[in-house]
Amino acid sequence: MYKVIIGFIGALLTTLQAWASWNLHYVEYEGRKVEYAYYVPKTVTAETDAIILVNGLNAKGEQMINDQWIALSDQTGRPIIAPTFPFEGHDAFQKRQSFQFPDAWSGDALNAIFNQFEEKGIHIERLYMAGFSAGAQFVGRYALAHPDQVVKCAIGASGSNDHIKKASPVKFFYAIGENDQWNRRMFATDFVKEANKYGISVEYKVYPNAGHRFTPEMKEDFVRFMQD
């Protein structure tokens, strides 16, 4: 079970007013401390969709948030949540027990964050998710497992994906560097093939001269994809 940490920094969510930049908080779930950065726009309503951003392995969630995401948040009224999931090692990954697999524990930890928002008067309904590398594994799997909750999902250079076994209303964007490792490029093309097989909407883009990095062009495309 998770332990809800009482009170955010200040009274932002109680009054539905926004700071000018993102802030940090955390939740405890099954003995794990999961930190997250968040931004709540002044245009937020009591019932709202949210933008979920998940960074790569051992990178901070707040590193995903930039002025473009904040501008989109202000425009749409969707708060931003960017968790930093602790990685528990290669053995946990092989056993599908690491954060890249939402059904292990990280999906419930994200729900615990939503409960914190709920306690402060903001009910999160639908999700717009984006992730890079290990974070892309999380958002891709979460979106496929929760098609009733996720509207759009942007996947950047995922290190692995689960096979698609049925149709889904979720709209996907898949980004991969032209010079990324062969297995990540294979995961990308396999995902697109399987999505097409089941009639799932997927926009696929290869970035010339890019290796395994979250390029400025990818970031711009992710924000563009989330516009509506």
Tell me the per-residue pLDDT of 58-84, one tens digit each, with 9 for 90 and over.
899 999 999 999 999 999 999 999 999
Average pLDDT over residues 2-14: 40
Higher pLDDT, 33 or 8: 33
Average pLDDT over residues 110-133: 96
Quick check: helix, strand or coil at residue 159? coil
The residues that bridge with 172 in the sheet, in sequence order, are: 153, 202
Domains (range + CATH), the chain: 2-225 (3.40.50.1820)
Average pLDDT over residues 218-225: 98
* DSSP 8-class letter at 19: -
pLDDT of 10-38, one tens digit each?
444 444 444 446 799 999 988 899 999 99
Q: How far apart are the first and last CA of the chain?
A: 35
Q: Give the pLDDT of residue 11.
A: 43
Q: Give the pLDDT of residue 21.
A: 66
Task: Select from 6, 11, 70, 14 the least CA-distant residue to 37.
Answer: 70
Q: Which two tokens stand for residue 185?
A: 């490029």
Q: Which two tokens stand for residue 98?
A: 């690491």
Distance CA 35, CA 86 (A): 9
Assess whether pLDDT exceeds 70 at residue 129.
yes
Q: Which two tokens stand for residue 131?
A: 């992730």
DSSP 47-89: EEEEEEEE-STT--GGGG--HHHHHHHHHH---EEEEEPPP--
**67 close to 96: Cβ distance less than 8 angstroms:** no
Distance CA 57, CA 130 (A): 14
Of the ranges 5-14, 61-70, 166-175, 202-211, which one carries the lowest mean pLDDT score?
5-14
**204 close to 178: Cβ distance less than 8 angstroms:** no
